């Protein structure tokens, strides 16, 4: 039985796909996004987050090793909620595809129970990994963080060549996709690049079921402190209404319907 490393399971998750979902957060990521709001999931391994509450030191352990069986059993507890709302389970992180074997086994078990699964990925893995997982996934939530390679490198530390090619191939194979476009002021909000991202999304065709625009939020700030890390971004960053409006009109011109998440 394969074991995986997860942090938490979010029940009644409403932002990670259709219906009522449970989102499992897996630990470990091969991107280093400057704005990451889940640094505890980005860094490898188990860890402790230390913080002060009214002058008393508290410590919160992050990371649980769990078998695919146990995890599937845990997630299946909400089966009736998934059924009644058209929901299911979303594997997120971190980068869940880095624990592909574990995710595949868990989602396989869930599928056997009639529970639909989705993978929330940044896609920076060999295509074969995603292809292998796709047999168990009804949906991919796929992040495209920048179109221009140098912007992508600057923001995430890695090239996006493989990422873009992966999402293209997933689309060609007819996998259902929700594309997520995170927008961070001063990092990846260059107007031309935004437009190129949208154009690229359009080129993916029918497989794209939905496009979500996620304006940057600073909810992760506290976690950096707790991990003893320096928060890399200015704390008052905020996507302007004008910028969102601009994205909206560019999308409209291209005939793409977008959903803008409220922060």
**Contact set with another protein (CB under 8 A):** 10-15, 19-20, 22, 56, 58, 77-78, 80-81, 83-87, 262
Q: Which is nearer to another protein, 85 or 221 (CB)?
A: 85
- Phi-psi bin for 242: left (phi > 0), alpha (psi -120 to 50), beta? alpha
Q: Which token pair is 21?
A: 């979902």
Instruction: Give the Cα separation of 142 and 89 in Å (integer).
Output: 15
Q: How far is the CB of 32 from another protein (least distance, A)?
A: 28
Q: Which is nearer to another protein, 30 or 64 (CB)?
A: 64
Instruction: Give the Cα separation of 42 and 25 in Å (integer).
Output: 10
Q: How far is the CB of 20 from another protein (least distance, A)?
A: 5
Q: How far is the CB of 8 from another protein (least distance, A)?
A: 9
Q: How far is the CB of 78 from another protein (least distance, A)?
A: 5
Instruction: Give the Cα separation of 164 and 226 in Å (integer).
Output: 34
- Phi-psi bin for 217: left (phi > 0), alpha (psi -120 to 50), beta? beta
Q: Which is nearer to another protein, 33 or 89 (CB)?
A: 89
Q: Residue 144 contacts by C-beta under 8 Å, 6 or more apart in sequence?
A: 160, 163, 164, 167, 179, 180, 181, 197, 200, 201
* 8 A C-beta contact, residue 116 and residue 89: yes
Q: Which is nearer to another protein, 13 or 176 (CB)?
A: 13
Q: Which is nearer to another protein, 11 or 157 (CB)?
A: 11
Q: How far is the CB of 109 from another protein (least distance, A)?
A: 19
């Amino acid at each position: 039985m394969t074991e995986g490393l997860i942090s938490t399971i979010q029940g009644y998750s409403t932002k990670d796909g259709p219906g009522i979902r449970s989102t499992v957060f897996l630990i470990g990521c091969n991107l280093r996004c400057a704005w990451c709001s889940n640094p505890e999931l980005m860094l490898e391994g188990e860890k402790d987050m230390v913080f002060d509450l009214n002058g008393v030191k508290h410590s919160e352990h992050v990371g649980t090793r769990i078998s695919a069986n146990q995890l599937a059993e845990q997630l299946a507890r909400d089966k009736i909620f998934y059924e009644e709302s058209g929901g299911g389970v979303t594997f997120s992180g971190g980068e869940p595809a880095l624990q592909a074997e574990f995710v595949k086994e868990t989602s396989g078990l869930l599928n056997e129970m009639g529970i639909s699964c989705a993978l929330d990925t940044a896609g920076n893995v060999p295509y074969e990994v995603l292809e292998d997982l796709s047999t168990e996934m009804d949906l991919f939530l796929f992040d495209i963080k920048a179109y221009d390679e140098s912007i992508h490198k600057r923001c995430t530390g890695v090239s996006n060549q493989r990422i873009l090619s992966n999402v293209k191939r997933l689309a060609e194979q007819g996998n259902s996709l929700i594309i997520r476009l995170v927008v961070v002021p001063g990092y990846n909000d260059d107007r031309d690049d935004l437009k190129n991202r949208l154009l690229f999304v359009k080129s993916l065709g029918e497989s794209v079921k939905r496009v979500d625009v996620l304006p940057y939020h600073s909810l992760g700030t506290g976690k950096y402190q707790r991990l003893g890390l320096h928060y890399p971004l200015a704390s008052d960053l905020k996507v302007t209404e004008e910028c969102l409006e601009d994205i909206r009109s560019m999308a409209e011109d291209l005939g793409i319907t977008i959903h803008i998440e409220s922060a």
